[in-house]
Structure 1
Amino acid sequence: MKAIQGMIKGAIALLLIAAISAVGWRGWLWWTTANTPPVAAGTTAKPVKLRIPPGTSAQEIGRDLQALGVIRSATAWDLWSRWRMFKEPDGGFKAGVYQLSPTEPLESVATKIWDGEVVRLGYTIPEGWSLRQMAAYFEEEGFFSAQAFLTAVERFPIAQYTWLPNKSEPGLPLLEGFLYPDTYDVSGLPVEPEAILKQMLDRFEQVALPLYKQGQKQTDLSFSQWVTLASIVEKEAVIANERPRIAGVFVNRLKKNIPLGADPTVEYGLGIQQTPDQPLTLDQVRTPSAYNTYLNTGLPPTPIASPGLASLKATLKPEDTDFLYFVARYDGTHVFSRTLAEHQAAQATIQDKRKSTKSSNAQ
């Protein structure tokens, strides 16, 4: 019975192929355009990336394309595939990674894969990004959804990397701070969150872990504390030569049991990002959180971002200074102070200058 059904399907396909040939390309182009997924007015369809493993059948490719929203009809895809194979029996769809747009006609999508127009797949994670920023980036770039990335983080088997801190407290973000910021080539990897996570962890193991082992005797910080403090330095520092000094200020405050008072930790705990025009409010600074370093002494329970090599080095060898405070000038630099009175005076001066500049610009 299955054999007969297969023969019937094959005969129908041949008839349809003949019909396509009869109506010509104009009719076929209308059909493929009609089977392009609709895009809402005023929006731009985001390209998506599809990896086709060797040996994938034409039907499987069609189903994957339909699931991604690149094509509307897997049936139309199947007809095009059969027509193309009928026309070019020696050809076929090529394995690889393709970047495709939901606004492309089916024929254009199919031709790319038939001709093997693969893309070199890679990604770049800047220093100071959090897991949520990475997740949004991968979704924007068409790798996979942000939620798929965050779910993979939560379920990642950290036992594979014995150097990773084993967080016993539930609810803490796994892997935060340990995904090394860099540019990666993933042309040979599956476009899956697990593979991406492993790649970034491997790079951290290759670059950052030896750095700590070499300088471990120079610091009182544990491995986890080192990465956590480096992540705060990364978020606070803008000018490269200020990193060791900022690290030195934080080390001094830790030694004296003074709260770090770092805005980025409050932002992380609240899931927000302040701007020069919308700084943290007093209520936000007073909001209890495990990451609020105004209310809590010591370091937060985890890193707040992925520190780069410069911040890791600066935290391992901070500047020997007696500064205990610093405040941003809004130009990337900071004013450093030794006493609270000096710090408050610096804050007032910077705020007065900022108000004066705003007033001048408004006139």
Structure 2
Amino acid sequence: MKKLIFSLIVIVLLIGISYLGFSYYIGAELPSMVSSLLTSHLSVSTFTEPVDIVIPKGKSLNYVSNLLYEKGVIKNASWFNYQAQLLGVDTKIKPGSYTIEPTMTFNDIFSLIQRGTPIKPVILSIPEGHTIFQIAAEVEQMGFGTAEEFIIATEEIFALKDLSFNTENLYFVMEGYLLPDTYHFTITSTPKDIALRMATTMSEFLESNYIERMNELDISTHEVLTIASLIEREAYSVDEMTTISGVIHNRLNINMLLQLCPTVIYGYGKGEEHLSRVLYSHLQYENSFNTYLNLGLPPGPIAAPGRDAIHAALFPEDHDYLFYALSTDGHAFSKTYAEHLRNVTKLRRLQGDN
């Protein structure tokens, strides 16, 4: 009996010692075990370059975690959300532009996105005379989306604004209706955001400056932008824009072919390609934009005119010029064809000497 009691005491002691040892082990090792487990699921990915993100106002923790996952910063969005909620970060996220460094821990990231910073602007500069095809390429290059998405967006905006002009022979319905300028966007801006902003800026510019003048001349917005686009592509400098505008208006008034090479280039390339040199065969290429073959204005703008060209379209210089020839520092203007031929001969001689 004594042996049995002794054996039971020994067993109880062994169990107690084992329990105490296990408890001590768990107490000492559990944090590192949990940390290791969380680290395997929550650790940042092995990215080597800083990653820029933008958190817009009102975005949730899910938005942030999915963004970080898509950018390759974290390995598991769900675990990121879980730990952020434990720390109360989910209710403290602030909008801003943030840079995630490869050396950052999760605590660093949690701390960062609670600070709030101004969202960094992305500058998009569109030069005067660009076509929609060229603008779309610029939008894609800046990382706002694809060129195709931008072109589709312009078509959607055309429907949205309910513009009333014939689109039958146009390659891009909003050609000429996007005002060239330097714009500030964010990296979250979409192609539609950009197209709508440019179109709205154009309409506001026209409405605030030229409605009375357009009514005075009895000219439509579409005609103004078409003439302005021709001036934009033809003028050597801003200084001669009103003079070129006068030539265009003079020819239109006497029902004379405009004979402008940029219209040939635009029509031949369907608004997408550019000719480095215009040949006689190009002049004979039949399309609705070719002003060597068709009287009057082309069916629409051939590029995006800037403010100076639009002003020149509405305020042409009053003169009798019908011709001009490109010189080394601008155009030589003339009233008669004979005078024009003399200018061309003279200019070719100068070019030959150079």
Fold agreement, TM-score > 0.5: yes
Cα distance, 1:135 vs structure 2 = 0.8
The answer (yes or no) to whether the contact 1:95–1:116 under 8 Å persists in 2 is: yes
Alpha-carbon spacing, 1:173–1:90, altered in 2? closer, same or farther (3 Å): closer
Query: What corresponds to 2:350 in structure 1?
Result: 353
Cα distance, 1:177 vs structure 2 = 1.1
Query: How far apart are the structure 2 equivalents of 1:260 and 1:210?
Result: 30
Query: What corresponds to 1:75 in structure 2?
Result: 75
Cα deviation code 1:263-292 (max 9, x no counterpart) = 221222213334xxx421222222222111
Cα distance, 1:192 vs structure 2 = 1.8
- Please point out which of 279, 282, 286 is paired with 1:281: 279
Structure 2 counterpart of 1:54, which letter?
G
Cα distance, 1:356 vs structure 2 = 3.2
The answer (yes or no) to whether the contact 1:49–1:143 under 8 Å persists in 2 is: no
The answer (yes or no) to whether the contact 2:170–2:300 under 8 Å persists in 1 is: no
The answer (yes or no) to whether the contact 2:84–2:90 under 8 Å persists in 1 is: no
Structure 2 counterpart of 1:154, which letter?
E
Question: Share of identical aligned residues, percent?
Answer: 28
Query: What corresponds to 1:19 in structure 2?
Result: 36
Alignment gaps of 5+ in structure 2? 1-30
Query: What corresponds to 2:245 in structure 1?
Result: 247
Matches within 5 A, 1:256-267: 256-267=254-265
What secondary structure is seen at the aligned counterpart in 1 of 2:203?
helix
What secondary structure is seen at the aligned counterpart in 2 of 1:156?
helix
- Please point out which of 35, 57, 60 is paired with 1:56: 60
Alpha-carbon spacing, 1:49–1:280, altered in 2? closer, same or farther (3 Å): farther
Cα distance, 1:217 vs structure 2 = 4.8
Query: What corresponds to 1:95 in structure 2?
Result: 95
Cα deviation code 1:97-143 (max 9, x no counterpart) = 5689xxx8595999576765631244332222221121111111112
What secondary structure is seen at the aligned counterpart in 1 of 2:312?
helix
Alpha-carbon spacing, 1:22–1:144, altered in 2? closer, same or farther (3 Å): closer
The answer (yes or no) to whether the contact 1:260–1:293 under 8 Å persists in 2 is: yes
Cα distance, 1:244 vs structure 2 = 0.8
Cα distance, 1:232 vs structure 2 = 0.7
Cα distance, 1:229 vs structure 2 = 0.4
Cα distance, 1:199 vs structure 2 = 1.9
Query: What corresponds to 1:4 in structure 2?
Result: none
Q: Are residue 335 (structure 1) and residue 332 (structure 2) matched?
A: yes
Query: What corresponds to 2:157 in structure 1?
Result: 156
Alpha-carbon spacing, 1:256–1:191, altered in 2? closer, same or farther (3 Å): same
CA root-mean-square deviation: 3.8
Query: What corresponds to 2:212 in structure 1?
Result: 214
Structure 1 counterpart of 2:315, which letter?
K
Query: What corresponds to 1:292 in structure 2?
Result: 290
The answer (yes or no) to whether the contact 1:173–1:302 under 8 Å persists in 2 is: no
Query: How far apart are the structure 2 equivalents of 1:147 and 1:48?
Result: 25
Alpha-carbon spacing, 1:157–1:218, altered in 2? closer, same or farther (3 Å): closer
The answer (yes or no) to whether the contact 1:91–1:114 under 8 Å persists in 2 is: no
Query: What corresponds to 1:125 in structure 2?
Result: 126
Query: How far apart are the structure 1 equivalents of 2:252 and 2:127?
Result: 28
Cα distance, 1:79 vs structure 2 = 5.7
- Please point out which of 32, 38, 41 is paired with 2:46: 32
Query: What corresponds to 2:7 in structure 1?
Result: none
Structure 2 counterpart of 1:354, which letter?
Q
Cα distance, 1:300 vs structure 2 = 0.8
Alignment gaps of 5+ in structure 1? 1-13, 37-46, 358-363
Cα distance, 1:64 vs structure 2 = 4.4
Question: Over alpha carbons, which structure has the higher Rg?
Answer: 2
Query: How far apart are the structure 1 equivalents of 2:69 and 2:136?
Result: 23
Matches within 5 A, 1:122-271: 122-158=123-159, 160-161=160-161, 164-169=163-168, 172-186=171-185, 191-269=189-267, 270=269, 271=272
Moved more, 74-83 or 176-185: 74-83
Alpha-carbon spacing, 1:154–1:90, altered in 2? closer, same or farther (3 Å): closer
